[in-house]
Chains A and B, each alone.
Chain A
Amino acid sequence: MIEFRSVRKTYADGRRGETIAVDGVDLVVPSHRTVVLLGSSGSGKTTLLRMVNRMVEPTSGAVLIDDEDVREKDPVALRRGIGYVMQQAGLLPHVRVIDNIATVPVLRGTPRREARERARALMDTVGLDARLADRYPAQLSGGQQQRVGVARALAADPLILLMDEPFGAVDPIVRRELQQELLRLQRTLGKTILFVTHDVDEAFLLGDEVVILAQGGRVVQRGTPDEIVAAPADDFVADFIGAAGGRRELRVERRSGALVAVDAAGRVQGVVRGAPGEGGA
């Protein structure tokens, strides 16, 4: 369980005083759950994420992992116990795939042979061809690199995964693939995941709970995706998730002999199956 208690982060900003990055956030990430921090740039979501492994220290307030203040832990040891996946994967370009994955276990003192064996097993887990083991990151596609990033984060079997827009830099098809893969992994692994994204659909797909942040690091709404779509807290949320202007409102019409869902602009968004009157198809 990760807990943010009245966390605030300000940066000195020359003559103009200070910039508020995170403004009094209280938040609990329950164990074995995925909580998504959703917001545009400047909403402090990455800053919040980095407070968990002490890459950023809060100006005031505290971050606790299983009721222990992270400030009382050695940052290096703390980070070795937390999986971290970032945009562009952040792989070490001079290290082969297999050793990239084995990085954290080796840092923790696992013999290299053993760490590599586990890394090989993890390649399989995240759907990477074993033949890629001896390649360098630059020789992989963006999607493959991202899978290596996920495998590396899982290598030391951490309880917590921090994911900072991990699928932001890959094309939409690969992104969907990776999202499904993460859902599949999470069903078996049950990690405590804090996930940062600016992609609304990604947030609603992956999050057990979604926290919407506004400029200046304020929480404007939190809840399950259903709750947020059904009842946006204010106009900002409604606009951000696309509920404003009817963009998330669909109505059913019959076109060319099929029942379809049509959006406010009249574009067909999908086919309706199993609706009342469709005859149980």
Chain B
Amino acid sequence: MSWVVDNAGLIGSLALEHVRHSLLPVVWGLALSLPLGWIAHRWRLARGPIVLLTGVLYTLPSLALLPLLPVLFGISALSELNLMLALTIYAVAILVRAVADGFDAVDPDVRRAAVAMGFGGARRLWTVELPLAGPVILAGLRVAAVSTVSLATVGILIGVTNLGYLFTNGFQRRIVEEILAGVVAVAVVALVVDLLLVLAGRLLLPWTRASGAAPARAASAGTAA
């Protein structure tokens, strides 16, 4: 415990770096996945290739991706950007599927009603379909965020310092407490991020809690949530 107390400041600043290294890729990943997932939902023919391709991305070992990306994008191998691009790719792999599933889950009756009311295509997408796809997308986002927080520790292998530093440093100096502190700190960051996402969901998707108290409603409300 003494090591943790003596190095609380270090752990804190590493944790902040860690949050930055993992959250930006999740945001970028979501921004890329929304259009890709929508295309996969909208055009059946595109769905197979898109889901397959992004699924394959997820199987790429990070140890291979980190030296490959600099070659492809002409960036420094030892940069934050390299790590964050790799993490973005993994986030996309998870999120595209979630976005496509989310749009698929929108009740066709509700979509039809929106057409009949006179929603134009774009407006229907932003104000009806996207919010109703929200719960499924959020579920995917939580998985992506937690896995990215965990994965971000590989950054230390290309000299990008975040909580992963505690693993390599602790290993080299044989300080078990330091390694354990890193494990716990990563878990805490992941939990906090997850909690924030849940809270954001409650704020942005308030109706999902309302449907819990539904009196006898079979079809449309239930499936969307």
A78 to B116, CA, bound (A): 9
Interface positions, chain B 99-115, Cβ under 8 Å from A, are: 107, 109-110, 112-115
Which of chain A's residues have a CB closer than 8 A to the CB of B112? 55, 86, 90
Count class of interface residues, chain B: 20 to 34
B113 engages A55 (CB within 8 Å)? no
Query: B111-149 toward A: CB 8 Å interface, digit per residue (1/0)?
Result: 011111111100100001001101000000000000000
A141→B220 contact, CB < 8 A: no
Return the contact of B118 from the options A77, A86, A140 (Cβ within 8 A).
A77
- Residues of B within 8 Å of A95, CB to CB, are 207
Instruction: Kindly state the separation between the CA atoms of A55 and B108 in the bound complex, as whole angstroms.
Output: 14
CA distance A84 to B132 in the complex (A): 21
Complex-state Cα separation, A136 to B204, whole angstroms: 14
B5 contacts the other chain (Cβ, under 8 Å)? no
Which of A87, A103, A140 has the most CB atoms of chain B within a 10 A radius of its CB?
A: A103
Task: Find out whether the CB atom of A141 lies under 8 angstroms from the CB atom of B216.
Answer: yes
Minimum C-beta distance from B36 to chain A (A) = 23
Which A47-106 residues have a C-beta within 8 angstroms of B? Answer: 53, 55, 76-81, 84, 86-88, 90-95, 103-104
- B219 at the binding interface (Cβ < 8 Å): yes
B131 A107 Cβ-Cβ under 8 A: no
Question: Quick check: B131 and A94 within 8 Å, CB to CB?
Answer: yes
In chain A, what residue has the closest Cβ to B215? A141
B76 interface contact, C-beta 8 A: no
Name B's interface SS.
helix
Q: Does A30 contact B (CB under 8 A)?
A: no
Q: Which of B117, B134, B206 has the most CB of A within 10 A?
A: B117
Interface centre among A84, A138, A162 (most CB of B within 10 A): A138
B211 at the interface (CB under 8 A from A): yes
Cα A243 to Cα B114 with chains together (Å): 40
Cross-interface CB contact of B113 among A78, A91, A108, cutoff 8 Å: A91
Q: Which residues of A contact B220 (CB under 8 A)?
A: 88, 90-91, 93
Q: Let me know if B98 is at the binding interface, CB within 8 A.
A: no
> Does A137 reach chain B (CB closer than 8 Å)?
yes
What residues on B are CB-neighbors of A135 within 8 Å?
210
Q: Bits for B170-183, please: 1 = Cβ < 8 Å to A, else 0.
A: 00000000000000
Count of chain A to chain B residue pairs whose CB atoms are closer than 8 Å in the complex:
94
Contact of A88 among B205, B206, B219 (CB under 8 A): B219
Task: State in angstroms the CA–CA spacing of A143 and B220 once bound together.
Answer: 15
Say yes or no for A142: interface residue by CB 8 A criterion: yes
Which of chain A's residues have a CB closer than 8 A to the CB of B205?
A: 94
In the complex, whether B221 has a CB less than 8 A from a CB of chain A is yes
Quick check: is A139 within 8 A (CB to CB) of the other chain?
Answer: yes
Which of A76, A107, A136 interacts with B211 by CB under 8 Å?
Answer: A136
When distances are taken between beta carbons in the complex, the residues of chain A under 8 Å from B64 are none
Also in contact, A84 and B214, with CB within 8 A (given A93-B207, A94-B207): no
Pick from A79, A94, A141, A152: contact of B115, CB under 8 Å: A79
Instruction: List the A side residues contacting B210 at CB < 8 Å.
Output: 135-136, 138-139
Q: Are A93 and B116 in contact (CB under 8 A)?
A: no
A86 to B112, CA, bound (A): 9
**A141 nearest CB neighbor, chain B only:** B215
Chain A residues near B215 (CB-CB < 8 A): 139-141
Are A103 and B214 in contact, CB atoms less than 8 angstroms apart?
Answer: no
Interchain CB contact under 8 A, A92 and B214: no
Task: Contact check, A86 vs B116: say whether CB atoms are below 8 A apart.
Answer: yes
In the complex, the answer to whether B109 meets A139 with C-beta atoms within 8 Å is no
A53 to B113, CA, bound (A): 12
CB pair B213 A139 closer than 8 Å: yes
Q: Verify B116–A90 contact, CB threshold 8 A.
A: yes
Partner of A93, one of B119, B120, B216, B221: B221
CB of A76 within 8 A of CB of B207, answer: no
Q: Is B224 an interface residue (CB 8 A)?
A: yes
Chain B interface residues toward A at CB < 8 A: 107, 109-110, 112-120, 123, 128, 131-132, 134, 205-207, 210-211, 213-217, 219-222, 224-225
> 14 other contacts beyond A107-B123, A138-B210, with CB at 8 A cut-off?
A79-B117, A81-B118, A84-B113, A86-B116, A88-B109, A88-B220, A92-B110, A93-B211, A94-B128, A94-B132, A136-B206, A136-B207, A137-B217, A138-B225
Spell out A's residues near B (CB within 8 Å). 53, 55, 76-81, 84, 86-88, 90-95, 103-104, 107-108, 135-142, 145, 152, 162
Query: Which 3 residue pairs spanning A and B have beta carbons closest together?
Result: A90-B113, A80-B118, A138-B211
